[in-house]
Structure 1
Amino acid sequence: MAQFLHQTIMPCLPQTDPKAESRAQMVARDREIYQLTYDYHDIPLPKEIPAKENFSPEYQLCKTLIEAQLVQNNFQSDLQAWETSPNGGFLNLIRDTKSTLRHKILNKIWGSPRDVQIFPYNCRPPLSITDYKNILQSITPPIAVQYWQEDWYFAWQRLTGVNPHLLSLVSPSNEKLFEQFPITNEQFQQAIGNSADNLETAKAENRLFVTNFHLLDKIPTGISDEWRKYLSAPIGLFYSDPTRARQLLPIGIQCGQKPSRDNPIFTPASDRYAWLMAKTAFQVADSHYQGIISHGAYCHIIMGVVAICTYRSLAANHPIRILLHPHFQFTIPIAVATRQIVLSPGGTTPTLQSVTLQGALTLTQRALQTFNWNEQAIPQSLERHGITPEILPEYPYRDDVLLLWEAIHYFVRRYVHLYYTTDADVVGDREVQNWLRELGDRDGGNIHGIGKNGQVKTIKELITLVSQIIHRATAHHAAVNYSVFPAMGFAPNMPGASFAPFPSSEDNQIQYSLNDLLQMLPTRKLAIGQLEDVFVVSNVIMNHIGKYGCNYFSDRRVRPLVEDFQSELDQIEFKINTQNKTRCLPYEILLPSRIPASIHI
């Protein structure tokens, strides 16, 4: 963070600035430099990247070094496939190479094809599980390689995975869920292997939980590597087992939103491979929600908007802008990169995941239309989902993220009180009031639910908003971003796309096999592409929460606050490491030493 070594400007509020005219000119200049555009499918993105906000040479070097590790791994993987898998990886390697060369030659001669030949999914010789393991050579395999088929590990990923904030308590009065997901008591008892417990009791005792990917319903899917891809909008029901210290376990998965004969509920008591295929369908949906919604829309796009609106509204010497500036490092260029990666033809998302470009755009638009800033923020989000420590004792994401929220909120509260004495100071701060309008206006950020009814009129409300921004830039982004390699680095655990239909019969009319499961998994070329994507994303860290630089704040009153914040983060690190010794598996994603200060990947 070399550019944050010091601030020469002393902070002050606009109503106390003796150089009001100069300050107004400074804001006007920044409004010319920092602009949003809705030109691309009505999605708010930075119009351009200001030169001083662009990726630094250090950033580019960091990415290059990480990519070099992948080059070494992929060379060893190709060599291993050549030598040891003549009937599996070798043939796929040759097939992938021939396909790539063929497409390059034809595109050179004829341009991009208008009619793409689509082969039936069962014509593709699938890879074996060993083939997928062998893709990881010099890169240390994620722990998912060991446990990906286990039900407890599948449930564990709801508590520590790529979307650890989605699990919700099923309230006893939630009859609508069971109309949509009509599991019977017999299915429930078979799933848990215990006839002494029953569905109504579990519901009444707050032992049922759900994750519902309804936003994915009817999203268009495409073709990659000449094979059709599939995506569902599954519902997963989970259960807290009182005989196992309330450990979370899966009860059932319905691969689509509407129950029917062709969309049954699969349980752990179903045919083994039908159940594994249903879990794979759920994992594919989880990867889409993470990549396009949690990460792409709710981190990159939303925080790109927040950064632009902050720079457009608050003068460079405003104390809130000074505090937030390090938390926006590289956020504007990464928001622009979202269009290239997620929302452009041939981008990583339409290639590696099931969606077409239009599907990615539609899902992004749905996500932004339903996003509510306060509802998505900590601690309101956890309260809304209803999973307290009494209901589910072991929930690492919840426990760790609350520690971080409390530390951030306390630091921000002390900082804000240095500059605002009364609520009238907030109301009289025209830059903050313009900031809130800019964030919420349809022609500005268009962020729903920000502030209190779109306004900030008290010191408490301002503290909450600034804390929410820092939290989303740090802990929240870390939770959904740096978990992708542990989850998706081994493709069978969480494929980015499915290449075969999901199971559609639960009554043994269809006998599913290992081959049916393997048909769902990506080709070798796409599995390597998935590894490359998640390995880079999980390893680029250019700054750290709480590390502002020894002389960044010119106001000397701030420095002891920063020292206290860093001390609190050290204590949180110790607490999490201590808790990890007794957890089912260590959860290290939210260790403060691993959390960046900004969204930059």
Structure 2
Amino acid sequence: MNYVPIGLPQRARDPEARRERLARSRGEYEYEPRDPETHWLYPVPVAKRFPIREWYSPGWVLRLLPVLVPSLARRALQTGLGRAAETIGLVRGADRFRLLSLGVTRPAWVDETDALDDAFARQRLDGPCPVLLERVRDPARLAQLFASGEALARAHAPELAAGRLFAVEYSLLQRALPLRRPRDSRWRARYMAAPRVLFQQHGERGGLCELRPIAIQLDGPDAPPPNPLYRPGDGAAWYMAKLHAQAAEMSVHIFGSHLGQVHTVIEAFAMATPRCLAPEHPIHVLLEPHLRWTLQVNADGNALLRDTSSHFGTIYGGSLADMRAVLIAARSEVTFLDLELERDLARRGVAEAPLDYPFRDDARPWMTAIRRFVAAYVELFYGGDADVTGDHELQGWFLELLSPDGGDLRSLTASGRLGTREELVEVLTQVLFTAGPRHAALHYGQPDFYSLIEGFPAAIYQPPPREGAPASFDALLPPLAPAATQVHYSAIAVHRASRFGDYASSRLGKLLQARAAVQRLQRDLAAIEAELDERNRRRPRPYRYLLPSLVPASVHF
């Protein structure tokens, strides 16, 4: 095969041969038809067909086996032992979950202390889904969140005025479902509330967390009674309310923030790139290692999303159709531009506070390093803005990503166009950040938190008790089989098959023009590693999910 130099289409030595190569590549990738009658995630774009080179490599599989095989064996053994122990009365109630934690490696700081309020708050900053916290800016927002919003605004007026009230809300679980009645998604075998949690910032840095939860309501303002407001002094009811919040967060995290706003977003680029950019296009070469295996892992995920017997359909609070609806709503409610780090932090009002916010603080140096790398790479091939507008392949790529029949990302740049090198750099920076650090932050916390069933159940199995009625925590928590399934899928989430910045096996790593940019990126990542290690030594507990040595290059699991 003749060597084809990397370059822009407007400078191609043989434009006709380049068009033929692109046509062949485009023909290998096909979207699932957007038919609401047959498309299980309509209108989310899904790949119907892609070539064998997108499948898992032998190296990917070999890295997974040492994690997968022991976990499967452990699940079978522990489930069997657990059932036998329950039958003969050796374990009762929540003690059954201790059997499931045997052989599961978790950091020493993840244990039953996570039931405490400061650890509960800290999970919103460094836990498995640290992208939901918002600052409550005015009484109107409190009234939107809580049925008791006006009373809360009066009771906490000084804190509200000082900007020291924060919230996490899971109303996506309500908005996503086509309900006939306000509660008809909830009163069934697995109970799915849509809680709101209010936090108060209590002072300067110190202790495990500067936030404290001060109120939880399990339904929104429009819910019929009973819809009590739970407070820290409510004893067992307060603990029960936190469990409902944990279960809700797990559903919003897995199907919303993770699958809906990372996996399906990157799939749009994994499809549009080989369909619109010739193999020798420099942006294709740049994105290739950051899109590797994404189509295959998403195809596997789609199979689970269509199988009612899969863990997606059996361990979470809603039915499989409900969970798909959550994913679809999460994907549809935001644009690619909305998910840009600083824009997202500003929208949520958390750009500067809380003072100690590990996800935010550790993500920022990543954005700086990635932007520097991408800018240096783009300048190698685009001499100015005219090269961007004159690149018909790039412009077609941009339009396909926006198109409802393509990537359906709706907004990629503030101008709505791709007209400058700066706009191209910003789009590519966000692609690399989303595929790498953002995905790592939303994926690799699962083994540490979701393998503790008592602290993070995937579903609650009983409605909250009526006022004055006793709460049965054993009845709230899942049976042994779904609990074992939760632990298994959480445990194997440690799988990593690449490392961000290591391009030795990709065309990018062999591109002489890009060698200086790649080496600078690698030096920047080493400096970030040292910086984050130092931060972790000062933190009340380490935040390791954004350490460059642990961040893969792509969404591949």
Could you tell me the TM-score, scaled by structure 1's length?
0.84
Q: Look up the match of 1:128.
A: 93
Deviation of 1:78 after TM superposition, in Å, equals: 5.0
CA-to-aligned-CA distance 1:494-539 (integer Å, 9 cap, x gap): 111111113453xxx33x34xx222111111111100111111x21
CA-to-aligned-CA distance 1:404-451 (integer Å, 9 cap, x gap): 111111111111111112111111111111011100111111112222
Pairing 1:287–2:250 present: yes
CA-to-aligned-CA distance 1:345-395 (integer Å, 9 cap, x gap): 222211111221221222222122212111112121112112133x31110
Distance 2:407 2:199 in 1: 37
**The one of 111, 118, 134 aligned to 1:168:** 134
Deviation of 1:264 after TM superposition, in Å, equals: 1.4
CA-to-aligned-CA distance 1:221-259 (integer Å, 9 cap, x gap): 9xxxxx811101111111110266570111111111126
Are the structure 2 counterparts of residues 504 and 418 from structure 1 closer, same or farther at C-alpha, using a change threshold of 3 Å? farther
Pairing 1:74–2:30 present: no
**The one of 385, 394, 398 aligned to 1:423:** 385
**The one of 388, 401, 406 aligned to 2:351:** 388
Are the structure 2 counterparts of residues 551 and 256 from structure 1 closer, same or farther at C-alpha, using a change threshold of 3 Å? closer
Distance 2:205 2:259 in 1: 37
Are the structure 2 counterparts of residues 179 and 374 from structure 1 closer, same or farther at C-alpha, using a change threshold of 3 Å? closer
Deviation of 1:187 after TM superposition, in Å, equals: 7.0
For 1:44-193, list aligned pairs within 5 A. Answer: 44-74=45-75, 77=78, 81=82, 88=89, 128-142=93-107, 143-171=109-137, 173-178=138-143, 180-183=145-148
Q: Does structure 2 retain, via aligned residues, the 8 Å contact 1:10–1:555?
A: no
**SS of 1:236's equivalent?**
strand
Distance 1:528 1:60 in 2: 23
Q: Look up the match of 1:192.
A: none
Distance 1:435 1:229 in 2: 43
**The one of 450, 453, 458 aligned to 2:420:** 458
For 1:380-529, list aligned pairs within 5 A. Answer: 380-389=343-352, 391-505=353-467, 509-510=468-469, 512-513=470-471, 516-529=472-485
Distance 2:16 2:413 in 1: 28
Deviation of 1:8 after TM superposition, in Å, equals: 5.8
Deviates most, 445-454 or 580-589: 445-454
Q: Does structure 2 retain, via aligned residues, the 8 Å contact 1:159–1:397?
A: yes
Q: Look up the match of 2:196.
A: 235
Deviation of 1:57 after TM superposition, in Å, equals: 2.3
Q: Look up the match of 1:123.
A: none
**SS of 1:242's equivalent?**
coil
Q: Does structure 2 retain, via aligned residues, the 8 Å contact 1:73–1:139?
A: no
Q: Look up the match of 1:534.
A: 490
Pairing 1:34–2:29 present: yes
Are the structure 2 counterparts of residues 436 and 242 from structure 1 closer, same or farther at C-alpha, using a change threshold of 3 Å? same
For 1:245-284, list aligned pairs within 5 A. Answer: 245=206, 247-258=210-221, 261-270=225-234, 272-284=235-247
**The one of 203, 206, 215 aligned to 2:163:** 206
Deviation of 1:176 after TM superposition, in Å, equals: 3.6
Q: Counterpart amino acid of 1:152?
A: D
Are the structure 2 counterparts of residues 551 and 453 from structure 1 closer, same or farther at C-alpha, using a change threshold of 3 Å? closer
Q: Look up the match of 2:536.
A: 580
Deviation of 1:457 after TM superposition, in Å, equals: 0.5
**The one of 501, 526, 544 aligned to 1:546:** 501
Q: Look up the match of 1:194.
A: none
Distance 1:184 1:368 in 2: 28
CA-to-aligned-CA distance 1:262-295 (integer Å, 9 cap, x gap): 111111111x211111111111111111111112
Distance 1:131 1:374 in 2: 45
Q: Look up the match of 1:23.
A: 18
Deviation of 1:179 after TM superposition, in Å, equals: 5.0
Q: Look up the match of 1:224.
A: none
Q: Counterpart amino acid of 1:234?
A: P
Equivalent residue pairs, number: 537
Q: Does structure 2 retain, via aligned residues, the 8 Å contact 1:276–1:517?
A: no
Distance 2:90 2:399 in 1: 56
Task: Give me the CA root mean square deviation.
Answer: 2.5
Deviation of 1:161 after TM superposition, in Å, equals: 1.5
Q: Does structure 1 retain, via aligned residues, the 8 Å contact 2:106–2:447?
A: no
Q: Does structure 2 retain, via aligned residues, the 8 Å contact 1:220–1:358?
A: no
Q: Look up the match of 1:103.
A: none
Distance 1:313 1:184 in 2: 50
Q: Counterpart amino acid of 2:174?
A: D
Distance 1:63 1:324 in 2: 24
Distance 1:303 1:70 in 2: 28
Are the structure 2 counterparts of residues 408 and 88 from structure 1 closer, same or farther at C-alpha, using a change threshold of 3 Å? farther
**SS of 2:49's equivalent?**
coil
Distance 2:151 2:399 in 1: 54
Q: Look up the match of 1:122.
A: none
Deviation of 1:454 after TM superposition, in Å, equals: 3.6
Distance 1:325 1:587 in 2: 29
Q: Counterpart amino acid of 2:161?
A: A
Deviation of 1:403 after TM superposition, in Å, equals: 1.2
Distance 2:271 2:452 in 1: 37
**The one of 11, 25, 33 aligned to 2:6:** 11
Q: Counterpart amino acid of 1:542?
A: A
Deviation of 1:86 after TM superposition, in Å, equals: 5.6
**SS of 2:381's equivalent?**
coil
**SS of 2:546's equivalent?**
coil
Q: Look up the match of 1:342.
A: 305
Q: Look up the match of 2:183.
A: none
Distance 1:267 1:351 in 2: 31
Q: Counterpart amino acid of 2:435?
A: A
Distance 1:364 1:167 in 2: 19
Q: Counterpart amino acid of 1:562?
A: V
CA-to-aligned-CA distance 1:452-490 (integer Å, 9 cap, x gap): 344210000000000110111001111111111111111
CA-to-aligned-CA distance 1:550-571 (integer Å, 9 cap, x gap): 7733432211211111111111
Distance 1:88 1:263 in 2: 37
Unaligned runs of 5+ in 2: 180-187
Unaligned runs of 5+ in 1: 1-6, 91-126, 190-197, 222-226
Deviates most, 292-301 or 400-409: 292-301
